[in-house]
Amino acid sequence: MKKNTEAIIKEFKENYPNMDYLEKELKRLIEEVVKRAKTGGKILVCGNGGSASDSEHIVGELLKEFYIKRPVEEEFKEKLKGIFKEEELSHVAKSLQGGIPAISLVSQSGFLTAYGNDASFDMAYAQQVYVYGEEQDVFIGLSTSGNSQNVYYAAKIARAKGLFVIGFTGETGGKLKEVSDVLLNVPAKETFKVQEYHLPLYHLICRAVEYEIFGEEL
């Protein structure tokens, strides 16, 4: 793990000392996510309500620059020269950023309503994991109680397909505790308080993973 990543974790512990018990699991999570992303893996994320918004927030931080620059490979820039006109090339090359492949399972409104109506709403995330998921991928399920049935089913399908399963929950862990490779159970029970802890936690993860993949040691 890079020194700057260690510094990010240290900063998190200083700002949120009541979550320092998660340090070991966070380091394991970061190393596993980075390893899988570097070998072509993607990250599938889901939740309900505020946690659905958090799912989209996480994916947004992963698909583009978050905390540091993510330059596009020079080899790819060379390929652009044969495709774009000269007046377009500078804009395109400057706008593109390195990304970490991630999909928000909450965003497929057409699919979610069709599948929910025709089959089962509580299996709608699981169906997407079944279709999208591959062994090198990562699944992140957010549930403040840990008992959201649709997130729980999706996590179990993820386990069956060999994905690395991360659960974001409140302090008890709920049913997600049973199926998570890493459980991030924050020290709160009330929904809004759990969500307030989830935000800095996933920001830490996004920063750390970004730095491990795109950052350089000074």
Q: What is the pLDDT of residue 191?
A: 97
Residue 216's pLDDT band, with cuts at 50, 70 and 90, is confident
Residue 44's pLDDT band, with cuts at 50, 70 and 90, is very high
Answer with the residue of higher pLDDT: 47 or 82: 47
186-194 contacts: CB < 8 A, separation 24 or more?
186/19, 186/22, 187/18, 187/19, 191/50, 191/144, 191/145, 192/50, 194/144, 194/169, 194/170
Answer yes or no: is pLDDT of 72 > 70.
yes
pLDDT in tens, 182-210: 999 999 999 999 999 999 999 999 999 99
84 and 151 together in one domain? no
Q: What is the pLDDT of residue 218?
A: 58
Domain that holds residue 74: 69-98
Collapsed DSSP state (helix, strand, coil) of residue 43? strand
163 and 205 together in one domain? yes
146 and 80 together in one domain? no
58 and 85 together in one domain? no
92 and 38 together in one domain? no
Answer yes or no: is pLDDT of 180 > 90.
yes
Q: What is the mean pLDDT of the chain?
A: 96
Buried b (16+ CB within 10 A) or exposed e, 195-204: bebbeebbbb
Answer with the residue of higher pLDDT: 216 or 26: 26
